[in-house]
Amino acid sequence: MSKTYIIALDQGTTSSRSVLFDIQGQIVDIVQQEFEQCFPKSGWVEHRPNDILNSQLKTLETLVSRNNLEAKNIAAIGITNQRETTIVWDKITGIPIYNAIVWQDKRTADICKKLKDNGLEPYIKEHTGLVIDAYFSATKIKWLLEHVAGAKAKALKGDLLFGTVDTWLLWNLTKGKVHATDYS
């Protein structure tokens, strides 16, 4: 059997999916597994990073097993994921320093307001193409560095990695060899 399949790892806000496509782009099989959402405070939404990883791996393992796939059958694997959900982890141990802060989370609204009140919105828009909003990762990173014990010191030593869910999955799937994202 030649490289006749493509696998999509579709990591969403409430579940992980692995989708098998034939080389013509037709869906052959889908495996889905939900994972728990955490709501520690009003307006806060979190996921446990290892729940994300483990549910994605389980769907992939089931898909491969159910379809008797081997590496030689796979032409490509792609990752699609839940937008601006933010994960920061220790680059030596691979352990997240905190839960993933989900794209829906509003805990950094006050940080965003301060940035706007200080007139930084035009500058940020010009340099990033983005508006100031709690949806995006930058204010989530600031919150983590300010509220997780030891995070700022580890960051200053270069011992932390940040990524959205695609980065977290890729880093784990490559056993820490690739720390990358698709910026689009």
Q: List, for residues 18-29, the tens digit of each pLDDT value.
A: 999 999 999 999
Token match 């495996």: residue? 31
Among residues 175, 173, 177, 176, which one has the least CA distance to residue 81? 173
Q: What is the mean pLDDT of the chain?
A: 96
What CATH number should be reported for the domain holding residue 32? 3.30.420.40
Q: How many residues can be counted in the chain?
A: 184
d(CA 104, CA 107): 10
The answer to whether position 22 is within a domain reads yes
Among residues 26, 7, 3, 5, which one has the least CA distance to residue 18? 7
User: Model confidence at 56, in pLDDT bands (50, 70, 90)?
Assistant: very high
The answer to whether position 128 is within a domain reads yes
Express each pLDDT in 43-54 by its tens digit: 999 999 999 999
The answer to whether position 50 is within a domain reads yes
Domain of residue 102 covers: 5-173
The answer to whether position 179 is within a domain reads no
The SS3 of residue 141 is helix
The answer to whether position 30 is within a domain reads yes
Name the pTM for this structure. 0.92
Determine contact, residues 18/7, Cβ cutoff 8 Å.
Answer: yes
The answer to whether position 98 is within a domain reads yes
Number of structural domains the chain divides into: 1
Determine contact, residues 90/137, Cβ cutoff 8 Å.
Answer: no
The answer to whether position 83 is within a domain reads yes
The answer to whether position 180 is within a domain reads no
